[in-house]
Amino acid sequence: MESKRALRIFSARNGAATVTSLTRQRSRSSPLARQRAGVGVMFVAPVVLLVVFLLVLPIIEAIYYSFTNWNGLSSQWVGLATYEQLLTSPVFWRVLLNNAVLLIAIPFAIFIPLSVAFLLNQKTFGWAFFRSVYFLPTAISWVVIGMVSIQFFAADGLLSRGLQLLGLPGNQQGFLGHSATAIAAVAVTFIWSVFGTNTIIFVTGMATIGTEVLEAARVDGATGWTTITRIMIPLLGRFIQFAFVTTLITAFTALFSLIFVMTGGGPGYGTTTLEFYVYQEAFSQGQFGTGAALGVVLFLIVFGISLFQLRLMSRDTSPM
């Protein structure tokens, strides 16, 4: 009896699955379904073609020209010679070191806005005003930020005067005149420039957390620090992930104007990043093949770090 009953159940389920499959096949092959699919392709095709022509093809061309000696007019195939030259160049490794310094600055560019967002989320007196003030750097262009930073880190700038008032020696040549202090000044300016954007991202993320969750934590006796570390930060995982990726992309691909205005990549190669090095090799030196190779290296580094971070965050956070 049990075997017959199990057979009937299996047959019913198998029959239902077969009917469902046939229904889906008929719906897909119906004229209305084909018409809808055609309309969808018609709307998507222009966007796909635009992405292909403006993104995919330039990437393929950059990869091809990275294996050539290209002067902008003619190219000669050299294979891996350009990459071998880069790997043996001390300037290339110095440029990577500068990018590593900016990479170290990214946690500060995340932690500081996150801390300020926690304070703004308490909605203390004047929180709306300070939220607007903190967002102000985002509305300023990189050129203006660079000009302000030059005055701030100059020999008679605000930073040197502040150190002298505290009884500490200032910098007689300015903080942008030495390689170590210049790259640190660029990193500090970078952190300040993305401060407003990341703060707004985290404030927006905290607004999505239900008040009942925080109230339940208080009822259970959770302290403020426990609430932040055990409840709010895990719930903000996707927002932290988004802020990290955008900050990383900014650090590697959006600081050209800032470096051009502040230091011009100097002193020496003290503040030259991969992005700025592409400009120097391709447009200043006319070595477009080397510039293409540097662009490929930059793309692989940003893609690899972003992929690693996305996988790491997908394991540690739950979908919101």
Contact (CB, 8 A) for 262 and 186: yes
pLDDT band at 64 (very low <50, low <70, confident <90, very high): very high
Residues in the chain: 320
Domain co-membership, 174 together with 219: yes
Domain co-membership, 280 together with 187: yes
Query: Structural domain tally of the chain?
Result: 2
25, part of any domain: yes
The pLDDT score that the predictor gives to residue 320 is 44
Q: What is the pLDDT of residues 138-160, one digit of tens each?
A: 778 888 888 989 988 887 888 88
pLDDT at 213 over 90: no
168, part of any domain: yes
If you search the block for the tokens 């002298």, which residue do you land on? 164
264, part of any domain: yes
The pLDDT score that the predictor gives to residue 24 is 54
What is the residue range of 255's domain? 82-316
Domain co-membership, 144 together with 236: yes
pLDDT at 73 over 50: yes
Task: Tell me which DSSP letter residue 139 carries.
Answer: G
Domain co-membership, 89 together with 48: no
Domain co-membership, 17 together with 146: no
The pLDDT score that the predictor gives to residue 38 is 78
Domain co-membership, 30 together with 104: no
Q: Which residues contact 280 (CB under 8 A, 6 or more apart)?
A: 265, 272
pLDDT at 319 over 50: no
Contact (CB, 8 A) for 270 and 95: no
- Is the Cα dihedral 306, 307, 308, 313 positive or negative? positive
Beta bridge partners of 230: none
pLDDT at 77 over 70: yes
Domain co-membership, 103 together with 22: no
Cα–Cα distance measured from residue 278 to residue 146, given in angstroms and rounded to the nearest whole number = 20
pLDDT at 22 over 60: no
Domain co-membership, 147 together with 3: no
174, part of any domain: yes
* Alpha carbon separation from 125 to 8, 99, 136, 196, 284 (Å, rounded): 70, 40, 19, 19, 52
Cα–Cα distance measured from residue 185 to residue 204, given in angstroms and rounded to the nearest whole number = 29
pLDDT at 67 over 90: yes
305, part of any domain: yes
pLDDT at 189 over 60: yes
The amino acid at 230:
R
The pLDDT score that the predictor gives to residue 315 is 63
pLDDT at 205 over 70: yes
Q: Which residues contact 295 (CB under 8 A, 6 or more apart)?
A: 62, 66, 278
64, part of any domain: no
pLDDT at 92 over 50: yes
pLDDT band at 4 (very low <50, low <70, confident <90, very high): very low
Cα–Cα distance measured from residue 14 to residue 21, given in angstroms and rounded to the nearest whole number = 10
275, part of any domain: yes
pLDDT band at 16 (very low <50, low <70, confident <90, very high): very low
pLDDT at 132 over 90: no
241, part of any domain: yes
Whether omega for the bond prior to residue 267 falls within 30 degrees of 0, making it cis, is yes
Cα–Cα distance measured from residue 77 to residue 56, given in angstroms and rounded to the nearest whole number = 22
pLDDT band at 224 (very low <50, low <70, confident <90, very high): low
Cα–Cα distance measured from residue 202 to residue 26, given in angstroms and rounded to the nearest whole number = 48
**In 208-287, which residue ranges form alpha helices assigned H by DSSP?**
211-219, 224-227, 233-235, 237-253, 256-262, 274-279
**In 88-173, which residue ranges form alpha helices assigned H by DSSP?**
90-121, 127-135, 142-152, 158-165
Domain co-membership, 215 together with 98: yes
More confident residue, 97 or 286: 97
Domain co-membership, 160 together with 255: yes
Q: What is the pTM of this model?
A: 0.78
CATH number of the domain at 182, please: 1.10.3720.10
Domain co-membership, 307 together with 189: yes
If you average pLDDT over every residue of the chain, what do you get?
A: 80
